[in-house]
Structure 1
Amino acid sequence: MAAMTAVTEPFAGPVEGDAQRLGELGYEQELKRGMGVFDSVAMGFATISPVVGLYAVVLVGMAVAGGAWVWVLPVALAGQCLLMSVYAELAGRYPLANGAYQWSRRLVGPRYGWFNGWVALCAYAVANTTIAYLGAPWALTLLGITATPGAIVLTGAVLVLVCSIINAFGVDALKGALRLGVGAEAIASVGIGLALLLVFREQGFGVLTDTFGAEALSGGSTFGALLAALAVGGWAFIGFDATVAAAEETKGAAKHVPRAVWLALLTVGALVILNAFATTLAHPNPADVAAGKDLDPVSTAVVASFGGWSSKPFAFVVLVAFIACGMAAQGGTSRGIYSMARDGVLPGSTFLRRVDKRQAPIGGIVATTLVAWAGLLLGLEATAIGSLITFGTAAIFVAFLLIAIAALYARTQGMLSPRGMVLNVLAVLWLAFETVNIAWPRASLAPLDAPWYQVWAAPMVVAGITVVGVLYLAVAKPHAR
């Protein structure tokens, strides 16, 4: 009952103690509050991940817009900073796990909050599968095993299990592993990026405005090609809300989580942009990427610059980045499940809200593992896993958009400060545009000769989870609990 009362009670002012603030919001302290501000930053940094983010965008970006693709990254980062102005405000006001659910239900209402929580959980469940699937080939490279579909799925399942075990050992184990992973990734990203840019640059700066004819995939329109590249660029700047997912385990959360969200996004954003420019300028022949002849431009640039000996160490660095990303993403998803389940609004909430003796959300961790394994089975069919990856990013932006709309609505009702109105409106406009841009059915962003349903995967699956969510709301009425 206290949790439902908190929905309509705005925060009146600062209070003493994280547990006291959590109690005011309707919950007891069940998770271990053992993370400092650096650990909070590490959660967001690892989930966004400069290495994973770059690998997610560079090939497709260059394929649709040539060397000119790099200019959409600052635009995408600026758009996400508009969202961040809203995120940081809400993270300080309501330092709770699963902002999509908790913030939305307090600012608009329980139906709206449940639906946004549902969309966000679906999106991040898919993200866990994606991270494991894309990280598996790097493990196979190190082991010298051919990356067949079956081998990728099996290796991905092992990566999911490793990340889940670390999460199950509690927040102390998680933050220790993240410190090692993020430290190695940050050093490698800065070192490799600067070396490629300052020592091994092969191309003149004119390559950064050359599309190499890639606009042909967008009907010959350079503007259309850049829009497609901007859709891809949005993939690189998501995951920062893992810091919010760990809010109930962060000391001084109301103060530190808003700062951590900004630090995670801006540091990763700077590294992604640095390495995107460096990779494009150090690549021996960027036109090959645009023509579809080079399917791994980052490795090509690194190995061509540092020599053949670097292929294995580079693969190791990338694998470390994927494991760190997987740990943080699974940690965020499991805490998101726990946050909703303790309100009794999910099927199986009694199990899903379970916290073990290490004060880890073990019910959510088990569920996250099983869902990620189930998703990996789609990796046996390339078109199926491709559709899953496309949907995941679109759904994440839908959740972002719903949060920004909730905050804007709350400002009109006097629940949030009117001083943030302009940035909030701009955030809604950006997110609405980018959500449509990402979900827009483009053949240029699908594999060659992809079936129609893969091209339309994002809007179709978003529509599907919307229908399922609305039906569940109508039949089960979780908001009434």
Structure 2
Amino acid sequence: MNDTSNPDSDAERLHALGYRQELRRSLGILGNISMGFAVVSPVVALYAVSMVGTTVAGPMWVWALPLVLVGQCLVVNVYAELTSQWPLAGGPYQWGRRLLGPAFGWLGGWVWQFAVMFGNTTVAYLAAPWVYALFGAVPTPGGLVAVAVAILLVCMVVNAYGITILRWFVSLGIAAEAVASVLVGLVLLLFFREHGFPLFTETLGAEALSGGSAVAGFLAAVAVAGWAFIGFDACVSTAEETKDAGRQVPRAMWWALLSVGAVVILNAMAVALAHPHPEAVVAGQDVDPVTTAVVHAFGGWSDKPFVVVVLTGFLACAMASQGGAARGLFSLARDGVFPFSRHVRKVNGRKAPIGGLVASTLISGSALALGLNATAIGSLISFGTAATYLPFFLVSLAALIARLRGSWVPSGHIRLGAKGTFLNVLAVVWTAFEVVNVCWPRTVLAPPDAPWYQVWAALLGTGVVLGTGLVYLAVRRPHDRLRDADGHGGGAAAAPSRPEGLQAAERP
């Protein structure tokens, strides 16, 4: 294995994998961790799942969080071995094509890419109400969409100035978010508890929404909690901008996931124990239990500062997530296997993937039209979660099949051997379960009297993206282009004789 402790070695390794260094390699491990931490984001995660989790399963919903965290640790084990060997932007696409061939890799990359872009839509839309709250204004559906579009545009501009500026903004955001989250959580837990820990064994009647089944309610909470622990793969998106990526990106993923996991679990427990009336949350009478708990404990003066912290967390998440989406598009487009690749693969003078930034902003922004219908945005949230777990499953499955075939033996810095195979099996089982669990149509996760497509949103949205990808695969045959560039039929160990990105760029 080559020494990748300096930029020249990093560039040489990238060239050996088939590409030339086009993005600026300036991130250390802390910078890479910040990207993953910002996208997973404890503030965004808690606000996205706390109210819904409590509504469907009562206070005992918090046990879904450590369960999902353990499941995601299985996925990180697989990702760590893969990115250690192939530290490339656009991980699911790049790994899939090397493990099971170009067609499988391209389709996995297609699904993952749209999941990330629509995830950006969701984050921007959920951030918009906090802008209104900051100024004490009352939002309208059209106003929320307009503010969300402005957030996406601001994030694009920050990203366009390059990875160094992006790192500064994201690091500032997560510093404020992390300190505030940890301090607020600890203070609530230590000094403002309204209830004892036995509260976490109660449902407070939440199972009534699931036909009286506490198990069904808890499974719904597990599906919701899945949103809280996605985004660690943003560390992979910036692999080509990270020094010694083969070693540092796997470490960064672990630090991002585990640190956010600890903060989310801490704050979920603290909010539940400090909330004056958890039964009101279960009954759907309090749609913002986090703010209620904080203001009840600290007083009305804390309202505005807390809004600033939450909004900062959302903006940091949106910036890092949009940056990851742009780099994924860049990875596909430089191989000429994404629509309008010639434009999407462009890199500006600051070595930022400007083509991917523009494309991801347009796609994420167009999906905000759903926000004009207050119930339809829920479809986007459900789809975003399901579509993210599907690539987790596809990558884990591809790695396991390649291991069992003997066509892939991990050869990066991380080699888990037989233990890796066992953990890989568990990762496939976990991600398959969660894909089914998230896609399962549940009226309990939809607003009252929601249209049928809201209930079936996860399955329908995933089906549309998969179907569109399959049609593109059949008509445009991007996998043929990849097979020609590689000079083989696909496989784990083969490497192209010339840089793939250069070959793709040379074609008309």
Does the alignment reach a TM-score above 0.5?
yes
The answer on 1:33 being equivalent to 2:14 is no
| Aligned-partner residue type, residue 375 of structure 1 | A
1:99-140 Cα distance to aligned partner (Å, 9 max, x none)? 110001011100000000000011011101000000000011
Q: Which of 243, 250, 268 is 2:242 aligned to?
A: 250
1:293-340 Cα distance to aligned partner (Å, 9 max, x none)? 100000000000000011110000000000000000000000000000
1:405-438 Cα distance to aligned partner (Å, 9 max, x none)? 1110111132124421100000000000011001
Looking at structure 2, the residues matched to 191 and 351 of structure 1 have their Cα atoms a distance apart, in angstroms, of: 45
Contact persistence 1:43–1:243 (CA under 8 A)? yes
Provide the secondary structure at the position in 2 that maps to 1:399. helix
| Aligned-partner residue type, residue 393 of structure 2 | L
What is the deviation of 1:383?
A: 2.4
Match of 2:401 in 1: 409
What is the deviation of 1:169?
A: 0.4
The answer on 1:209 being equivalent to 2:201 is yes
Higher mean C-alpha deviation, range 354-363 or range 456-465: 456-465
The TM-score with structure 2 as length reference comes to 0.91
Match of 1:306 in 2: 298
Note the residue ranges of structure 2 that are not aligned, 5 or more in a row.
411-416, 482-508
Match of 1:454 in 2: 454
Looking at structure 1, the residues matched to 304 and 360 of structure 2 have their Cα atoms a distance apart, in angstroms, of: 31
Match of 1:270 in 2: 262
What is the deviation of 1:15?
A: 4.6
The answer on 1:72 being equivalent to 2:59 is no
Looking at structure 2, the residues matched to 34 and 190 of structure 1 have their Cα atoms a distance apart, in angstroms, of: 29
Higher mean C-alpha deviation, range 399-408 or range 461-470: 461-470
Contact persistence 1:441–1:456 (CA under 8 A)? yes
The TM-score with structure 1 as length reference comes to 0.96
What is the deviation of 1:14?
A: 3.6
Looking at structure 2, the residues matched to 384 and 342 of structure 1 have their Cα atoms a distance apart, in angstroms, of: 34
Percent identity reads 58
1:346-389 Cα distance to aligned partner (Å, 9 max, x none)? 11000000001100000000111111211112100122211111
What is the deviation of 1:209?
A: 1.1
Looking at structure 1, the residues matched to 2 and 221 of structure 2 have their Cα atoms a distance apart, in angstroms, of: 43
What is the deviation of 1:237?
A: 0.1
| Aligned-partner residue type, residue 421 of structure 2 | M
Contact persistence 1:15–1:21 (CA under 8 A)? no
Looking at structure 2, the residues matched to 436 and 262 of structure 1 have their Cα atoms a distance apart, in angstroms, of: 25
Counterparts of residues 150-189 of structure 1 (less than 5 Å): 150-189=142-181
Looking at structure 1, the residues matched to 230 and 271 of structure 2 have their Cα atoms a distance apart, in angstroms, of: 21
Looking at structure 2, the residues matched to 68 and 108 of structure 1 have their Cα atoms a distance apart, in angstroms, of: 41
Q: Which runs of 4+ in 1 moved over 4 A?
A: none
Counterparts of residues 365-384 of structure 1 (less than 5 Å): 365-384=357-376
Looking at structure 2, the residues matched to 431 and 30 of structure 1 have their Cα atoms a distance apart, in angstroms, of: 34
Looking at structure 2, the residues matched to 370 and 460 of structure 1 have their Cα atoms a distance apart, in angstroms, of: 22
Looking at structure 2, the residues matched to 376 and 334 of structure 1 have their Cα atoms a distance apart, in angstroms, of: 18
Provide the secondary structure at the position in 2 that maps to 1:383. coil
Counterparts of residues 201-350 of structure 1 (less than 5 Å): 201-350=193-342
Provide the secondary structure at the position in 1 that maps to 2:221. helix
Looking at structure 1, the residues matched to 460 and 121 of structure 2 have their Cα atoms a distance apart, in angstroms, of: 19
Provide the secondary structure at the position in 2 that maps to 1:212. coil
Looking at structure 2, the residues matched to 367 and 465 of structure 1 have their Cα atoms a distance apart, in angstroms, of: 17
Counterparts of residues 29-178 of structure 1 (less than 5 Å): 29-178=21-170
Match of 1:471 in 2: 471
Provide the secondary structure at the position in 1 that maps to 2:375. helix
Match of 2:492 in 1: none
Note the residue ranges of structure 1 that are not aligned, 5 or more in a row.
1-12
Match of 2:496 in 1: none
Higher mean C-alpha deviation, range 380-389 or range 19-28: 380-389
Higher mean C-alpha deviation, range 294-303 or range 466-475: 466-475
Looking at structure 2, the residues matched to 326 and 238 of structure 1 have their Cα atoms a distance apart, in angstroms, of: 14
Q: How many residues matched?
A: 469
What is the deviation of 1:52?
A: 0.3
Looking at structure 1, the residues matched to 93 and 174 of structure 2 have their Cα atoms a distance apart, in angstroms, of: 28
Cα RMSD of the aligned pairs, angstroms, is: 0.8
Provide the secondary structure at the position in 1 that maps to 2:146. helix
| Aligned-partner residue type, residue 287 of structure 1 | E
Looking at structure 1, the residues matched to 478 and 309 of structure 2 have their Cα atoms a distance apart, in angstroms, of: 44
Higher mean C-alpha deviation, range 70-79 or range 458-467: 458-467
